[in-house]
Amino acid sequence: MTSKTQLTIRTEQDEKAVILCLVGRVDGTNASVLDEAVRDKIDAGQPALLFDFEDLEYISSAGLRVLLLAARRMQAAKGKTLFCGLSEQIAEVFRVSGFDHILPVFGTRSEALATV
């Protein structure tokens, strides 16, 4: 077995936001990869960051921390951080950890982008 869990980050540029599609799993072994990718996007100066979790299978607390960091950084840069496409399992993780109180979660991309 490899020591790093499989994660692919696909980036799409919308006129209102940069969309990060996470494919696979985020856990302690690859959270830093996600962190770096997110940092790059924020440093490039994006008005909004939309995480599309349509193809995300799993996220651990180390991954949630990266999302929280992203939201804080975007807030400091007067930008927005949005989430959409949560599977039932990931919605449950958001619900149990209380992240759904803190982070704006939407059903679909267009619902999320409509708020930017």
Partner 1 sequence: MGATRILMVDDEEDLELLVRQRFRRRIRKGEYEFLFAHNGKEALEALEENPDIRLVLSDINMPVMDGLTLLGQLEETKPDVKAVIISAYGDMDNIRTAMNRGAFDFVTKPVDFNDLQITIEKTLKHINALEQALKNRDRLVAIRRELDVAKQVQLSGVPAELPVGEAFGVHAIMNPAKEIGGDFYDFFELDEHRLGLVIADVSDKGVPAALFTMITRALLKSSSRRHDSPSRCLHEVNEFICQDNDACMFVTVFYGVLDLRDGSFRYSNGGHNPPRHLTADGAVSELPLTGDFALGIADGHDFGENAVTVVPGDALFLYTDGITEACNHQLDEYGEDRLDGVLGGDAPMGARELAESVVDSVERFADGATQFDDITCLSLRLRLLSGGAGTDGSQ
Pairing, β 18-26 against β 7-13: antiparallel
Give the one residue of 51, 53, 83, 99 binding partner 1; rule: CB under 8 A. 99
When asked if residue 53 is in the footprint of partner 1 (CB under 8 A), the reply is: no
Contact partners, residue 7, CB within 8 Å, separation at least 6? 22, 23, 24, 25, 26, 30, 33, 34
Give the one residue of 102, 108, 114, 115 binding partner 1; rule: CB under 8 A. 102
- Give the residues across from 21 on adjacent strands: 10, 52
The token pair that represents 42 in the structure block: 């924020």
Give the one residue of 95, 108, 111, 115 binding partner 1; rule: CB under 8 A. 95
- Of 11-19, 42-50, 57-65, 79-87, the segment contacting partner 1 by CB under 8 A is 57-65
- Give the three-state DSSP class for 84: strand
The token pair that represents 72 in the structure block: 């804080």
Give the one residue of 37, 39, 58, 106 binding partner 1; rule: CB under 8 A. 58
Compare residues 10 and 95 and give the one whose CB is closer to partner 1: 95
- Of 12-20, 37-45, 58-66, 77-85, the segment contacting partner 1 by CB under 8 A is 58-66
